[in-house]
């Protein structure tokens, strides 16, 4: 062992910090320095450290062909180069087989490590993508909740504000009642808005300060619509007290949005709300006698109400149909299955 031999080993190790940026070049450099050391017949020992580390970096970065080529070149070079140059004796058959087996095992272990790292990265990417999709779906759901919760109350506020202004001088008592309705509707809208914004910020505010959307509040919804000047008739067939939670919310929001559209677009009208509970589905129908789609800002306008109702129905595996009613007005009909849409079992 002399200074030249030590320098060859040191150069191979000194190049390793550059392997992440230039993995192939560092592998070639380590191969040359180590093979030169080996062929010069310097002292044997753990002299392959830099070469193994450089080879591992090449395998882990996906340069499989380069890694295999370097394994073949290393097998040929380290076995016979010293004999060709006359510096070492030729290896026996046991040495040749041992070196070949060691190189194959080394490459196999590195491939296993690379595969596991690839799977781990892919799983991490999949989890991140799933979280992004979940966050996006949650934002869309909250946006729909925000629209459904606020639009109805804002429409009622608008109607009663106009009524209060019209009756302020001639019928102050009715104007006072309109203002009281505005106060109550605005309070409910603010509470629901605060609750939804709290969900968006992931703020734990404890129990809700207002009842959650449910068909149990259907009479209250009808009363508010009647107070806004819309004559609503309600017909319920069957027991709607034991509905699955997601179906219950979807049904309430569909009826709420339908009545909101009637109040906003149908003009002077009456509306009929029909709920039919069957063994496997809930049927909803809301019809009105107003101007319907023929109105300037009718139900088929540029808003998102109808699309939102369709999305509501689709989230529970249901369908929604809209169109002109006979002999006039507009009709919204929904069918919501009372089954788990992922497993097909009764909830």
Domain assignment present for 182? no
Domain boundary at 71, 105, 128, which? Answer: 128
Pair (343, 227) in one structural domain: yes
> Would strands 281-288 and 231-237 be described as parallel, antiparallel, or unpaired?
unpaired
Residue 222 lies in domain: 213-347
> Of 157-161, 270-274, 303-307, 340-344, which has the strongest mean pLDDT?
270-274
Mean pLDDT calculated for residue range 113-121:
84
Domain of 301: which CATH number?
3.30.565.10
Q: Which residues of 163-173 are buried (b: 16+ CB within 10 A; e: fewer)?
A: bbeebeeeeee
Domain assignment present for 141? no
Domain assignment present for 203? no
Domain boundary at 98, 128, 158, which? Answer: 128
Domain assignment present for 205? no
Domain total of the chain: 2
pLDDT value for 342:
40
Domain assignment present for 145? no
pLDDT digits (tens, 9 = 90+) for 187-239: 777 777 776 666 665 544 444 444 567 888 888 888 878 877 788 888 888 77
* Distance spanning both ends of the chain, measured CA to CA: 80
Q: For the CA atoms of 135, 139, 140, 144, what is the dihedral angle to 10 degrees?
A: 150
Instruction: Specify the pTM.
Output: 0.49
pLDDT digits (tens, 9 = 90+) for 68-87: 888 888 777 777 676 667 66
Domain assignment present for 227? yes
């Amino acid at each position: 062992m002399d200074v030249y031999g030590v320098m060859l080993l040191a150069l191979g190790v000194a190049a390793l910090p550059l392997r992440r940026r230039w993995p192939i070049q560092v592998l070639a450099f380590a191969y040359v320095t180590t093979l030169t050391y080996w062929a010069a017949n310097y002292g044997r020992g753990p002299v392959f450290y830099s070469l193994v580390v450089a080879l591992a970096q090449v395998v882990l970065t996906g340069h499989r062909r380069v890694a295999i080529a370097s394994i073949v070149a290393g097998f040929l070079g380290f076995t016979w180069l010293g004999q060709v140059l006359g510096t070492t004796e030729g290896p026996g058959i046991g040495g040749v087989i041992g070196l070949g087996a060691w190189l194959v095992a080394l490459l196999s272990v590195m491939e296993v490590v690379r595969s596991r790292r690839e799977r781990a990265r892919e799983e991490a990417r999949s989890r991140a993508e799933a979280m992004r999709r979940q966050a996006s779906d949650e934002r869309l759901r909250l946006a729909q909740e925000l629209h459904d919760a606020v639009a109805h109350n804002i429409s009622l506020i608008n109607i009663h504000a106009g009524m209060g202004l019209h009756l302020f001088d001639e019928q102050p008592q009715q104007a006072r009642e309109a203002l009281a309705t505005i106060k109550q509707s605005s309070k409910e809208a603010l509470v629901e808005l605060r609750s939804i914004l709290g969900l968006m910020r992931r703020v734990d505010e404890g129990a809700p300060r207002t009842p959650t959307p449910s068909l149990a509040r259907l009479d209250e919804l009808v009363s508010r619509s009647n107070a806004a000047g819309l004559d609503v008739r309600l017909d319920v067939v069957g027991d709607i007290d034991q509905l699955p939670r997601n179906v219950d919310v979807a049904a309430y929001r569909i009826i709420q949005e339908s009545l909101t559209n009637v109040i906003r677009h149908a003009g002077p009208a009456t509306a009929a709300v029909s709920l039919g509970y069957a063994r496997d589905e809930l049927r909803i129908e809301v019809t009105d006698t107003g101007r319907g789609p023929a109105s300037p800002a009718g139900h088929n306008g540029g808003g998102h109400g109808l699309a939102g109702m369709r999305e509501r129905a689709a989230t529970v595996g249901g369908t929604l149909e809209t169109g002109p009613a006979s002999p006039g007005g507009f009709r919204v009909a929904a069918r919501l299955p009372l089954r788990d849409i992922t497993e097909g079992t009764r909830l």
